[in-house]
Structure 1
Amino acid sequence: MYDLPTVFNYDVIEHFYKARGHRLTLPLDYPSHQHSAEWHLFHHLSKPASKRVGSVVTRVSDPEAADLFFMPFFSSLSAIVNKTQWFIPGSDKERRDVNYNYNNEAVQEELVEWLEEQYYWRRNRGWDHVFLAQNSNALGRVMEKIQKGMLLVSDSGRASLIKDVLIPYSHRITTYDGPVGVENRKTLLFFKGNRFQRREGEVRDMLFRVLENEDDIIIRHGSFSKEGQVEASQGMHSSKFCLHPAGNTPASCRLFDAILSLCIPVVVSDYIELPFEDTLDYRNISIFVNSTSAVKPGFLVTLLRDIPTERILR
């Protein structure tokens, strides 16, 4: 792992909080979001070797001994720093809209300039370098310049399935720790999220139309705010099935939130590729329905209601 200048990691965290009007306290905590793998891997590799006993990854100090070179740039966090945010500097009545001037594209260009000065980058034009780019806009400015490297991504649309690796989203809701069973799961199917999405995500609006009036189904439009996370946790923890439709990308953290909630994912995403599919058979823990069938009135409801309790528990 490279010891990058802090402008590419810790400074990004600082800018994120400043953009939202938060007071900075040390040490800076990486903000929780669905693209947090960049932090978890960086944090793991930053630990002394004595704290990484049993790890499948070994960090070496001699670059000649390295098989791969990890770039700890918080590219996904950098992609969401410079957004207009509402924040409360003094009281709940004191709100103002602030557009924080953080130049994500300039930071990406600076990263490439730094890389071009490194011998081991120039040696193989980066094919043995690893970048995390979970957010669909992460590293977008310089993608052509680093495309020979290995990308760790969650959106299969950005990946070369020859050289890149699909990784899971970080789950965002509370992990379920209640009893295993269906007695307390009174809702058949649950979904909360943005109803209107682009491309394949247009299936969401059609699913709303055929499902929103069903008595034992909860399907709601809403953003993933803190309040929304609480509602999503409660909904997933009390439902037998959790809907996972395509959005702006084929997959999202919702699938992994459902698994950790013991809520069976119902995947309606025709072009989805999932992490570690060569090892994990997701058909054992999920239900996959093609979008053409899913949007037919009554199809999805009948399918789920006919699944016996024994199969759900299995």
Structure 2
Amino acid sequence: MNLRPKIRTPTPTTSPQQISNAKTLTLASNMGRKSIFKTLTLATILILFACYAFFNTFKLAESEIPIASRENLISSPSNSALVKIYMYDLPRKFTLGVIESYATARGGLKGPLTYPGNQHSAEWYLFSDLTREGRVGSPVTRVLDPEAADVFYVPFFSSLSLVVNPIRPGNGEVQKGLVYSDEEMQEGLIQWLEEQGYWRRNNGWDHVFVCQDPNALYKVVERVKNGVLLLSDFGRLGGNQASLVKDVILPYSHRIRSFDGDVGVESRKSLLFFMGNRYRKEGGKVRNLLFQILENEDDVTIKHGAQSRESRRAASQGMHAAKFCLHPAGDTPSACRLFDAIVSLCVPVIVSDYIELPFEDVIDYRKIAVFVDTKSAVKPGYLIKLLRGVSTERILKFQQELKKVKRYFEYEDPNGTVNEIWRQVSQKLPLIKLMINRDKRIVTRDLPEPDCSCLCSNQSGIDTIL
């Protein structure tokens, strides 16, 4: 079989001159690549150095900006990370005029215009925060153009308005002859709001009201229930008026001096302390039962006392010297003594089955308080046996946690209560937008009961935590 012969490529003959030329080209090529590599390396180093110098120069320049200017950068309405809030410029009678009326009813102003200290002063602190200069680090930024606003704040001093008149009859009507009428103020507020296009535009869903006293805005609450309500509990509101989903629970302003010492039990000789009104209505009836059970126990101080400067001084001393502080329900599930206890590093003992607590998304109250259901608390001997069984180590852990969260209950702390309230409000924005859009496409339905499918009721079951 004949196989086709393979054709071989002849080996080229290379002359010495060609070899020399090839070596020269190879050397030149290698030198060129090394030169390019060195050039690229040097360029990279120069670029990195330039970037480093630029960013450090930027930081230096930023640090040299005056504080007011830096604040403008941080809280500029163009910053999408901040919720933009527009505060209505209400007629004076709804804000500072309420303070003037309060002072007039008690003999007139004595000195500069100041908000009277009481447990419902959140409305004053929020108003002051939005009107002060140099707001830095807040979760919300105030805008002066309502078209740019995400939410609208209505700064009516509703809780102070409720108590302007020193004497109110039991039926809630204002006595004849008194000039100031809270009921008329509430109605006047609604009339003013209904004239505002921004209130009508979204049916009030994007409006924020503070009504911290349980009876604040009671006459008009049905007409503002779409808004975000800032309140202390749901004790006197219906399930279709207030909700944990749309509203914000506020702490009362503490009335006693904060404890400025360190954790420890050596100076706390008393086991349990309570000072307050013994007789209350509704859920507060448990107080009288607790008085009967506890008033003769050793190491327990339980006293009847009304609000006064002397009572607050005695309460400060008692809470600072006690390991545990009793917090029974008042006329409503919450009361200011819980927050007095927290700032005293006195472990709260909460006996209130329907209480709502502020800022529970960031505070685990099981780490700072003891919860006892009402039925167990009024059993003779139960409460004292429970508290005596808590070890010193456990009390110290409670106190350490109380110290960590104390700032959330200090309205005057720049990083305290006010900022946390605004953070809570800012978190409602997605729901506000949802409800605005939903409200515009839902048809009116004739239902036998209010449709609360979109908002959780405050009437859910209560789990007892011990």
- Bin for the TM-score computed over the shorter chain: over 0.9
Q: 1:252 is matched with which residue: 328, 332, 335?
A: 335
- How many residue pairs match? The answer is 298
Partner residue, 2:191: 113
The residue type equivalent to 2:371 in the other structure is F
Alpha-carbon distance in structure 2 between the residues aligned to 1:235 and 1:21: 33
Partner residue, 2:98: 12
Alpha-carbon distance in structure 2 between the residues aligned to 1:53 and 1:198: 43
Q: Which has the higher helix share?
A: 2
Aligned-partner SS, 1:267: strand
Q: Does 1:141 align with 2:219?
A: yes
Matches within 5 A, 1:140-159: 140-157=218-235, 158=237, 159=242
Q: 2:244 is matched with which residue: 138, 151, 161?
A: 161
Post-superposition offset of 1:275? 0.9
Are the aligned partners of 2:100 and 2:109 in contact in 1 as well (CA < 8 Å)?
no
Q: 1:37 is matched with which residue: 112, 122, 137?
A: 122
1:4-38 CA deviation, whole Å, 9 max, x = no partner? 11100101001111111143423x11111111110
Alpha-carbon distance in structure 2 between the residues aligned to 1:156 and 1:283: 21
Alpha-carbon distance in structure 2 between the residues aligned to 1:311 and 1:299: 19
Are the aligned partners of 2:271 and 2:300 in contact in 1 as well (CA < 8 Å)?
yes
Alpha-carbon distance in structure 1 between the residues aligned to 2:111 and 2:192: 29
Post-superposition offset of 1:83? 1.8
Alpha-carbon distance in structure 1 between the residues aligned to 2:262 and 2:194: 54
Partner residue, 1:93: none
1:170-196 CA deviation, whole Å, 9 max, x = no partner? 111101113421111111100011111
Post-superposition offset of 1:61? 1.2
Post-superposition offset of 1:57? 1.2
Q: Does 1:185 align with 2:268?
A: yes
Q: 2:368 is matched with which residue: 273, 281, 285?
A: 285
Give the TM-score taking structure 2 as reference length: 0.62
Are the aligned partners of 1:84 and 1:100 in contact in 2 as well (CA < 8 Å)?
no
Matches within 5 A, 1:1-314: 1-26=87-112, 28-48=113-133, 51-84=134-167, 100-157=178-235, 158=237, 159-314=242-397
Post-superposition offset of 1:131? 0.2
Structure 1's consecutive aligned runs of 4 or more residues displaced over 3 angstroms after TM superposition are: none
Post-superposition offset of 1:84? 2.8
* Higher Cα Rg, which structure: 2
Are the aligned partners of 1:79 and 1:138 in contact in 2 as well (CA < 8 Å)?
yes
Partner residue, 2:400: none
1:121-142 CA deviation, whole Å, 9 max, x = no partner? 0111211100000001101111
The residue type equivalent to 2:117 in the other structure is S
The residue type equivalent to 2:223 in the other structure is K
Give me the identity figure in percent.
62
The residue type equivalent to 2:184 in the other structure is A
Post-superposition offset of 1:279? 2.2
Are the aligned partners of 2:210 and 2:230 in contact in 1 as well (CA < 8 Å)?
yes
The residue type equivalent to 2:152 in the other structure is F
Post-superposition offset of 1:223? 0.7
The residue type equivalent to 1:271 in the other structure is Y
The residue type equivalent to 2:386 in the other structure is L
Q: Which has the higher strand share?
A: 1
The residue type equivalent to 2:93 in the other structure is V
Aligned-partner SS, 1:156: coil
Are the aligned partners of 1:186 and 1:239 in contact in 2 as well (CA < 8 Å)?
yes
Alpha-carbon distance in structure 2 between the residues aligned to 1:282 and 1:56: 23
1:81-104 CA deviation, whole Å, 9 max, x = no partner? 11239xxxxxxxxxxxxx854201
The residue type equivalent to 1:2 in the other structure is Y
Post-superposition offset of 1:161? 1.9
Give the root-mean-square deviation of aligned CA atoms.
1.3
Partner residue, 2:71: none
